[in-house]
């Protein structure tokens, strides 16, 4: 009689496995989330946390939103993937509703914000190349972006982003990229010239410190781009999809871009990105000039369509603005009570940053760790800003709870 087959005994999954198995591009928290609903998260030890990160402004409808779950399950039983040799019904529905809701006439779907921006930058250069060839023999390849901007992690997008720490060691970098100070109209006017094919800007800088653009700045960029036949690209990967209280931030500014990129909250955690543009600009992307295997697959499109329909209502967006006022008021109270720690509250909608005082510069990560010990999940936006990006469905009670937990963390910090 043969010996019974032995079943291998697997060790429990622990945070330490990350250090042994995963390429160390991140330094995650010691706690490992395993379950979540709305803004509530539980870790392996069943400790409860209030999530004011939304997975970096991604789960804007909260974790496991029932309508999103249902959309994914329903589509998973029908059609998962067909490749770009075919189209599908969900992606056509999603494209139709995005076009109806925005300035755009055409949409390109992909899997992430970086890919959406990669497509936007390639499209801008392709459009300039075609138009220049029609009437002139000059180079029109420069792309202007802002210092401390963030547009993704591909070699092209990370180079366009204005943070040298992310490009160190990856050279040679793509050429003809210029970085100007954010919100500096004079710098923009001095450098946007006929050799520029595109200017890209975040209406609210996210990773760069949660800094809203001024209306005058975006208007000046629009004027300069029009004067020099350059395309204006708005990166709304983080600030779009209702985060500022409008479906997209450009709508409140009244400045219309030529190309807009969207991702993050578009899929509420399911990977999906989109590049929106006009008929005339999209026309230079002929079959074979750009593409993606997974972009616009039925699963992602079904989820994104549900997210878009949920967020893009007057009632939902009005509540985001109302919640922004409540949270800003509560944080101003924290600012007043802890002036040695914070110097400013800034941002738009439910993308807010608490700027550290001069004496506390560089300690944002330390503060988020102390907040986590009180059961509050927060983000940083560089070393000097604590960032809050709760789900857009956050209640007044949850905002009050978050501030109570934050105050406990600050008491430990200043003691």
Among the listed residues 182, 264, 285, 342, the single catalytic one is 264
- Asked whether residue 6 is assigned to any structural domain, the reply reads no
pLDDT digits (tens, 9 = 90+) for 335-388: 999 999 999 999 999 999 999 999 999 999 999 999 999 999 999 999 999 999
Burial class (CB in 10 A: 0-12, 13-18, 19+), 294: middle
Mark whether 303 and 384 lie in a shared domain. Answer: no
User: Last residue of a domain, which of 311, 327, 349?
Assistant: 311
User: Would residue 7 count as lying in a domain?
Assistant: no
Can you give the pLDDT at residue 131?
86
384 shares its domain with 307: no
Would 3 be classed as within a structural domain?
no
117 and 215 fall within a common domain: yes
Residues 239 and 139 in one domain: yes
Rounded to an integer, what distance in angstroms lies between the CA atom of residue 153 and that of residue 75? 30
Predicted pLDDT at 86: 96
Do 255 and 399 belong to one domain?
Answer: no
Answer yes or no: is 11 within a domain. no
pLDDT the model gives residue 2? 61
Q: Are residues 56 and 77 in the same domain?
A: no
CATH at 241: 3.40.640.10
Model pLDDT, residue 136 = 57
Give the rounded percent of residues in the chain with a pLDDT score beyond 90. 93
| The one catalytic residue among 108, 121, 150, 285 | 150
Same domain? For 256 and 355 the reply is no
Q: Quick one: 46 and 187 in the same domain?
A: no
Pick the last residue of a domain from 274, 294, 311: 311
Task: Tell me: pLDDT of 98 over 60.
Answer: yes
Residue-wise pLDDT tens digits, 192-225: 999 999 999 999 999 999 999 999 999 999 999 9
The 10s digit of each residue's pLDDT in 11-52 is 899 999 999 999 999 999 999 999 999 999 999 999 999 999
Are 252 and 173 in a shared domain?
A: yes
Verify whether residue 150 is a known catalytic residue.
yes
Same domain, 93 and 120: yes
Shared domain check, 280 and 245:
yes
- What does the pLDDT read at residue 3? 60
Query: How far is residue 31's CA from residue 346's CA, in Å, rounded to a whole number?
Result: 29
Q: How many domains does the chain have?
A: 2
Residues 6+ apart with CB under 8 A from 288: none
The pLDDT > 70 percentage for the chain reads 97
4 pLDDT higher than 90: no
* 126 among known catalytic residues: no
Would the pLDDT of 231 be above 60?
yes
- pLDDT value of residue 132: 76
Range of the domain at 208: 68-311
Q: Which of 51, 235, 246, 384 is catalytic?
A: 235
Residues 122 and 150 in one domain: yes
Helix axes 66-76, 298-311, angle to 10 degrees: 150
Within a domain: 344: yes
Residue ending a domain, among 295, 311, 327, is 311
pLDDT for 123-143, tens place per residue?
999 999 998 765 555 689 999
């Amino acid at each position: 009689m043969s010996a019974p087959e032995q079943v291998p005994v697997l060790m429990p999954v622990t945070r330490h496995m990350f250090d042994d198995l995963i390429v160390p591009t991140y330094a995650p928290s010691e706690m490992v989330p395993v379950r979540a609903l709305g803004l509530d998260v539980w870790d392996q030890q069943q400790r409860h946390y209030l999530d004011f990160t939304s997975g970096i402004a991604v789960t804007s409808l909260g974790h496991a939103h029932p309508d999103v779950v249902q959309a994914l399950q329903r589509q998973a039983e029908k059609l998962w993937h067909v490749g770009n040799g075919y189209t599908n019904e969900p992606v056509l529905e999603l494209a139709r509703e995005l076009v109806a809701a925005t300035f755009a006439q055409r949409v390109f779907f992909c899997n992430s914000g970086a890919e959406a921006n990669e497509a936007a930058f390639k499209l801008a250069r392709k459009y300039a190349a075609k138009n220049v060839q029609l009437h002139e023999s000059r180079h029109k390849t420069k792309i202007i972006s802002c210092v401390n901007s963030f547009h993704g992690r591909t070699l092209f997008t990370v180079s366009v982003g204005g943070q040298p720490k992310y490009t160190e060691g990856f050279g040679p970098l793509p050429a003809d990229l210029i970085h100007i100070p954010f919100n500096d109209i004079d710098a923009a006017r001095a450098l946007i010239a006929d050799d520029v094919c595109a200017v890209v800007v975040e209406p609210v800088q996210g990773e760069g410190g949660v800094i809203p653009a001024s209306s005058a700045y975006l208007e000046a960029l629009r004027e300069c781009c029009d004067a020099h036949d350059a395309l204006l690209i708005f990166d709304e990967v983080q600030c779009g999809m209702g985060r500022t209280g409008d479906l997209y931030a450009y709508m409140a500014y009244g400045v219309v871009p030529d190309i807009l990129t969207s991702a993050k909250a578009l899929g509420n955690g399911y990977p999906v990105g989109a590049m929106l543009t006009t008929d005339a600009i999209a026309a230079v992307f002929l079959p074979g000039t750009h593409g993606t295997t997974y972009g616009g697959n039925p699963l992602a499109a079904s989820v994104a369509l549900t997210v878009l329909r949920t967020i893009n209502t007057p009632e939902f967006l009005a509540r985001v603005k109302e919640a922004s006022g409540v949270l800003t008021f509560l944080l101003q109270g924290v600012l007043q009570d802890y002036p040695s720690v914070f110097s400013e509250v800034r941002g738009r909608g439910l993308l807010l940053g608490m700027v550290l005082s001069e004496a506390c510069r560089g300690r944002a990560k330390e503060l988020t760790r102390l907040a986590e010990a009180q059961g509050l999940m927060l983000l940083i936006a560089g070393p000097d800003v604590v960032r809050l990006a709760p789900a857009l469905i956050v209640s007044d009670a949850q905002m009050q709870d978050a501030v109570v937990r934050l105050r406990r963390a600050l008491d430990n910090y200043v003691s």
